[in-house]
Amino acid sequence: MARYRIIDTATWPRRDHFTFYRQFANPSFNLCVPIAAQRLYECAKDRRVSFFQLALYALLRAANGVPQLRQRVRNDEVIEYDSLAVMTPVMTVEEGFRQVWCDNAPEFTTFSDAATPKIVAARETTPAPLIVDGEHFICASCLPWLHSTSMTHAEYAV
């Protein structure tokens, strides 16, 4: 069970923004930007580890370092999870994809030791979605050959 705390919105500095945006049809923002990952790539190669896993680990650790990214709305309460996991697509042998769930870990080796068998198993199975119970995760992928940028802003309900 994922651990979380309930935020007291009466004294929460983000209360006014929350009240305003919660009325929107889609109150979320989504940002997709290119990043300079050459040093991370070189680090992965020097250490003979998976660049894909190292990038996922870095993204997950960064997301967990920002309290606002661990916050969710549940039953009209704002909660903050202690830790997030990452869900990532892995291409299967049939050229579809299967989602893989990777828990946060304090060190890369622990993360990789847990993620590797899941990734290997996903590659060998048939494409299918991963049905999860909870919201204590981010969705992320590492596609260095794909160059795309985008921004989706909150959409007001009419």
Residue 58 lies in a domain: yes
- Find the mean pLDDT for residues 73-85: 95
Residue 26 lies in a domain: yes
Interval 8-61: pLDDT, tens: 999 999 999 999 998 898 888 887 888 888 999 999 999 999 999 999 999 999
Q: What CATH number is associated with residue 140?
A: 3.30.559.10
Q: Which amino acid is at 65?
A: G
What pLDDT is attached to residue 62?
A: 96
Residue 102 lies in a domain: yes
State the burial class of residue 88 (Cβ atoms within 10 Å of its Cβ: 0-12, 13-18, 19+): buried
- Find the mean pLDDT for residues 58-81: 95
Retrieve residue 131's tokens.
């049905």
Contacts 24+ apart (CB under 8 A), 86-90: 86/56, 86/59, 86/60, 86/137, 86/138, 86/139, 86/140, 87/130, 87/132, 87/137, 87/138, 87/139, 87/140, 88/56, 88/139, 88/140, 88/141, 88/142, 89/141, 90/119, 90/122, 90/123
What pLDDT is attached to residue 128?
A: 85
Total of domains in the chain = 1
Residue 101 lies in a domain: yes
What pLDDT is attached to residue 157?
A: 66
pLDDT tier at 158, thresholds 50, 70, 90: low
Short-list 40, 85, 83, CA closest to 65: 83
Interval 94-122: pLDDT, tens: 988 999 999 999 999 999 999 999 999 99
Kindly tell me if the per-residue pLDDT of 123 is higher than 80: yes
The SS3 of residue 143 is coil
Residue 134 lies in a domain: yes
Residue 113 lies in a domain: yes
**Do the beta carbons of residue 72 and residue 5 sit within 8 Å?**
no
- Find the mean pLDDT for residues 121-144: 87
User: Which residue range forms the structural domain that includes residue 109?
Assistant: 17-152
- Find the mean pLDDT for residues 117-140: 91
Kindly tell me if the per-residue pLDDT of 154 is higher than 80: no
- Find the mean pLDDT for residues 78-82: 97
